[in-house]
Amino acid sequence: MSGKQNSAVGEQRSPALGKKNKTPKPESRLAMVRRARRINRELAEVYPYAHPELDFENAFQLLIATVLSAQTTDLRVNQTTPALFAAYPTPEDLAAAEPEAVEEIIRPTGFFRAKTKSIMGLSAAIRDNFGGEVPGRLADLVTLPGVGRKTAFVVLGNAFGVPGITVDTHFMRLARRWKWTDQDDPVKIEAEIATIFPKSEWTMLSHRVIFHGRRICHARRPACGACPITHLCPAYGEGETDPEKATKLLKYEKGGQPGQRLKPPPDYPGKPAPAVRAIG
């Protein structure tokens, strides 16, 4: 955390001596938008290397990996998909697979029977309806089995360069903590956030917010004392504010630990995750 940020935090958190505490005025819409955009700018400085944390080489692999990531970690998916893609590299291959064989490969990701049905079903739909190529339009992607708006925007933003807001559990939590929205429905949150930020920022905004949620602003014990944007956070104090204790809560590269990807981008400052599938 820079000295400038520390100073800003200190100024915000310590009321002036001799003055009575006053009830703060409600934040205006304009002030919230300005604060939200400043958060995005500062997160861009904190995470210049933000990226999707699923390993993939093409749109099909990203689509399959994203479907498999439901109710599990990206790390678990990344440790599982190499064997899956080696056995079934194309939609045609996966659509024609034996379900039992696919189930055995993806078993570590959990809910493997339902996920097998989804990834084989979407592979067949891509083969039959889209000429074997993953479609690059939202309206087409959401027709595929197991593919909702969140999954579609991950694929569109990272495989096709089409801007989209990915409202996963991390994004939803932080958007509410930061008072960008009070909605709890992902589609409504997506719609509200879309009015705050320019479309060109949507994909990278999603990466930055999700990165911050995974590394610092955790669900149960946010590392408030180690957070670089406390001076912009209305929820400061919900987590550990002691800097030393908060530092121990940091995850992935911020905590000196491996990240989620086995093959991270060249500019990623952390360590690649281990390839062992059975990791906990």
Just list the catalytic residues: 150, 168
Tokens for 104, please give them.
């055995």
Nearest to 51 by CA among 257, 252, 249: 252
Q: What is the DSSP letter of 271?
A: B
* DSSP output for 86-107: HH--SHHHHHTS-HHHHHHHHG
How far is residue 6's CA from residue 71's CA, in Å, rounded to a whole number?
37
How far is residue 58's CA from residue 78's CA, in Å, rounded to a whole number?
14
In the chain, where does DSSP find H-type helix?
3-13, 29-46, 59-68, 74-87, 91-95, 99-106, 112-129, 138-141, 149-159, 169-177, 186-194, 202-215, 243-247
